[in-house]
Chains A and B, each alone.
Chain A
Amino acid sequence: MLADVLEQLVHGLTLGSMYAMVAAGLALMLGVARLINFAHGEFFMLGAYAFWYGYRELGLPYPLAGVLAVALMVVWGVVYQRTVIRAILPRSWHVQLIATLATSIVLTNLAIIVFGTQPKEVPTALSSTILDVGGFRLVWQRLLVLAGALAIFWGLHRFVSRTRAGRAMRAMSQNREACAVVGVDVQHVAMITFALSAALAAAAATLVSPLFNIFPDMGTGLTLKAFAAVVTGGFGYVNGAIAASFLIGITEALAGSYLSYAYKDAFAFIIMIGVLLWRPQGLFGRRLGI
């Protein structure tokens, strides 16, 4: 019984890691650029296909394919910021929501046209090797996802607190107008934020795709859950989004296993609605900044 619960907990942490990496990117964009990006799940999807391309089509070793995926998505993040985002950043958030939703539709359907509907599999050595600890079994890849996520969050924290770019991001998330006044290049910081968000999504995809499969629609559900995490954690607060993501992942695993598997995907939103009813500003309140 205990082994069972433990197993679901570990699984929930894996799920949570995936949600957290995606939600962190979303929260960054929201916190720094005040931007709602409904196409964020497609960042994850594109990152997954980029990884697939490097790993299966080019035959690169796993870590290199991952690096390629991240690099390609950084480029994508910059392109996205320079085209779509620049046009909608000064507009109302209604416009931003609808424009990014439209982008999501375009990207998903272009992916169907370019990559086809047949799902792609990217098994790695770690996703095929099973670790058996006294009857408790899981593939090594799941541990990699968890370790990778922790490493990435540590790296993100260092970047935001130690580097100049990171400090500029924090400043911009707290007071945009003041930043412009003291000479911070707002567009440049926005570009870095987008590149970083895209890189996070690509890293998540590289870690997680060997466990599941890759198909054009895979980002849609993820966007919604990431939003649920971001809203639950407190809009624009990255650590809040990460914490909420783990909460959602663990709840899905436990509730899906003990309560109802059919309603598994509803739990993220039930949590979100519950938290919002109790604290409309999210779990961590109205914190200023990322």
Chain B
Amino acid sequence: MRVLVRVAVAGVAVAAPWIVAAIAPGQQRYIVHVLIFTALFAALALSYDLIVGHVGALSLAHPAFFGVGAYTAAIASTRGGWPFLADVAGAVALAGLVAALAGIPLFRLTEHAFAVGTLGFALVAWIVATNWVDVTRGPLCITGIPKPVTTLPAWYWLALTALGLVLLLYRGMTTFRLGRAMHAVRDNEPLAAAAGIDPLRYRMLAFVVGGALAGGVGALYAHYLSVFCPEEMTVALTVNMLVIVFLGGVGTLRGVLVGAVLFTALPEILRLAPTWRLVIYGLLLLVIVIRSPEGLSGLVRGRAR
């Protein structure tokens, strides 16, 4: 039965462009565009949830990895003439490397300092992206990033494939022994350490894989828009990730996917003035974070303050 539901959902997801064309032909392109963003943000949120939801490290550094990946793909394709798959692979690799290098000093810090430290890292990354004009062109942005596919449905299936890959990896890492080890580190670190599970190793694993995947999503994003600017890797992206992950249900696959759909679909439904929209987001996040019984308390199950 559950398998049937999953197959049905997957089927609907794949067939979405046709379904949309049938139901709302006049708005098809707009809706498919929203779906593309949804898929990309879902993939990004899953990569973030690996770190926040499954090893319990509240990292605020994700925009930096997203940006590193995007810029790598942008520069490699526009200046180096690299083909699409190669520059995405490069983006994933470089973002993962940066995550590894950053993680080493950052994970020496206690939780609170870790959060602030990752925030500082993300800020410095943004400042560098804005000012290292020779490489990133700063606020003048990198333009003319080539598109591997041109039609919107094709882009949707590309984004969906990427989401599928991230989903499989996420599933693989968060179940079986690896998943249990990560959760042990999250829920009760001293006990995990006593049982021979090295917390640092699992945290770094989640951090590096999460960061690498974020870089891959960044690369796709840059190719989709064919332009990338430093404004796309600010703290606002972290806020979006937090909203998606906590709105939906941190640490659960379904929760994150639901969060991504809600988060990207909502603003397009909301026709209120943009500033009110942000007020509503904030209130929503506040209320849900306080009241939600699962998700967050699941995250902190057994964790001493």
Chain A: residues with Cβ within 8 Å of the partner, total of 42
B101 within 8 A of A: no
CB contact list, B235-294 vs A, under 8 A: 239, 242, 246, 275-276, 278-279, 281-283, 285-286, 289-290
Contact B289 A95, beta carbon cutoff 8 Å: yes
A100-129 near B? 1/0 per residue, CB < 8 Å: 011111101110110000000000000000
Residues of chain B with a CB closer than 8 A to A150's CB: none
Give the CA-CA distance A282 to B286 in the complex, in Å.
Answer: 30
B6 within 8 A of A: no
Give the CA-CA distance A179 to B199 in the complex, in Å.
Answer: 33
Residues of chain A with a CB closer than 8 A to B279's CB: 105-106, 109-110, 113
Give the CA-CA distance A98 to B292 in the complex, in Å.
Answer: 13
Residues of chain B with a CB closer than 8 A to A101's CB: 239, 242, 285
CB contact list, B115-164 vs A, under 8 A: 115-117, 119-121, 123-124, 127-128, 131
Question: Do A97 and B278 form a contact, CB below 8 Å, given A92-B299, A102-B285, A277-B105?
Answer: no
Contact B278 A109, beta carbon cutoff 8 Å: yes
Residues of chain A with a CB closer than 8 A to B300's CB: 91-92, 94-95
Contact B110 A280, beta carbon cutoff 8 Å: yes
A235 within 8 A of B: yes
B222 to chain A, nearest CB (A): 24
A227 within 8 A of B: yes
Give the bracket for the number of chain B residues in contact with chain A: 35 or more
Interface-lining segment among A56-64, A73-81, A163-171, A265-273? A265-273
B296 within 8 A of A: yes
B141 to chain A, nearest CB (A): 17
B interface residues with partner A (beta carbon < 8 Å): 58, 105, 108-113, 115-117, 119-121, 123-124, 127-128, 131, 239, 242, 246, 275-276, 278-279, 281-283, 285-286, 289-290, 296, 299-300, 303, 305
A interface residues with partner B (beta carbon < 8 Å): 34, 36, 84, 87-88, 91-95, 97-99, 101-106, 108-110, 112-113, 224, 227-228, 231, 235, 262-263, 265-266, 269-270, 272-273, 276-277, 280-282
